[in-house]
Amino acid sequence: MKKALVGILLAVVVAVYFLNASWLAPQQTGGPTLYSHRGVYQTYSKKDLGKLDCTATRIFPPTHGYLENTIASVEQSLALGADVIEVDIKPTVDGEIVVFHDHTLDCRTDGTGVTHKQTLAYLKSLDIGFGYTHDGGKTFPFRGQGVGMMPTLAELYTAFPDAQFLLNIKNSNPKFPAYLVRYLGEKSILPDAKIMAYGRKQAQLQEIKDLLPESIVFSKESVKDCIYRYMALGWSGYIPQSCDNTLLLIPTNYTAFIWGWPNRFIDRMTAVNTTVVLMNKDSDAGTFTGFHTPDQLAVLPAGYGGGIWVEGIENIGPAIKKKR
């Protein structure tokens, strides 16, 4: 009896191994897909960063002249090899949608007040480079260079009709999803553009999905639901419904617990129209972020063909191009 049980157990182990063997799955080709966070931008220290801290006053010494969420930044990101560009969006008080990150204007611009309570004309009058400093306010290297550079979402799609954007929804109003979809239609961005969006409010994202069934949406909540369920049941080849038609941002330290990582897992997700994107650890902050420098790419599995979240496209883009 014991021998029979041992034999059955061994057979199950062998079956599970081969079912999830990464080396038996189709390997992705062409190298990783680059998801450029904010385009080319002024990176900053996240060490001891508080939720309300002004990141424009924490930038590293500038190595280029680009500012996040601008036409120039997107153009340069594409030139450097970005496949998808993440941008932040907010409504205005007069019916527009602008590409800007902060809840208020006081940090990085010469304006004041809550961003979504302003008119487009006022936002267009601001210097979005006004508040950047890397030396505690001794110098402001971009002051005067960002006047009128806050684009609308329509301007972004018009300037780059073939680009793929990932929209970060920076507004918690429950009416914003319908507002966004209506805006995309009125500006003739739909039906041609493939809409990808994420944010903190899963209910908002679900409404976008309901209104635009072909869109790809995700939140931290939805990613966790998929990954945790898959960790528990993926050994059998089962794919949770929460993993369908979405995007998964996965920290590198999670991969050891993901059945079939990397090739079998990516193949399974591809089969349900889901994209896998890896995040890297920020050694200073102890949190997960994107890839900044080529040396960090060493954590990628050999032949990795999924996505990677990029903070320094000016460094990562050329390094990936050399390998392709």
Q: Where are the alpha helices (DSSP H) in 142-299?
A: 153-159, 176-186, 202-211, 220-233, 263-271
- pLDDT category, 25, cuts 50, 70, 90? confident
CATH of the domain at 72: 3.20.20.190
Instruction: Report how far residue 130's alpha carbon sits from residue 156's, in angstroms, rounded to the nearest whole number.
Output: 22
What one-character-per-residue DSSP string does 78-134 give? HHTT-SEEEEEEEE-TTS-EEE---SBSTTTSS--SBGGGS-HHHHHTSBTTTT--S
Q: Summarize the confidence of residues 301-313 as an average pLDDT.
A: 95
- Nearest to 135, CA basis, from 58, 45, 69: 58
Q: Report the predicted TM-score, pTM, of the whole model to 2 decimal places.
A: 0.94
Strands 216-219 and 196-199: parallel
Task: Give tens-digit pLDDT for 88-98.
Answer: 999 999 999 99
Instruction: Report how far residue 99's alpha carbon sits from residue 128's, in angstroms, rounded to the nearest whole number.
Output: 11
More confident residue, 46 or 10: 46
Task: Give tens-digit pLDDT for 128-157.
Answer: 999 999 999 999 999 999 999 999 999 999
Burial class (CB in 10 A: 0-12, 13-18, 19+), 187: middle
Number of domains, the chain: 1
Give the percent of the chain with pLDDT over 90.
83
Residue 76 parent element (H or E):
helix 71-79
pLDDT at 211: 97
Task: Give tens-digit pLDDT for 65-77.
Answer: 999 999 999 999 9
Instruction: Report how far residue 133's alpha carbon sits from residue 267's, in angstroms, rounded to the nearest whole number.
Output: 45
The answer on pLDDT for 276 being more than 80 is yes
- pLDDT category, 6, cuts 50, 70, 90? low
**Which domain does 77 fall in, by range?**
2-323
Q: Summarize the confidence of residues 109-116 as an average pLDDT.
A: 98
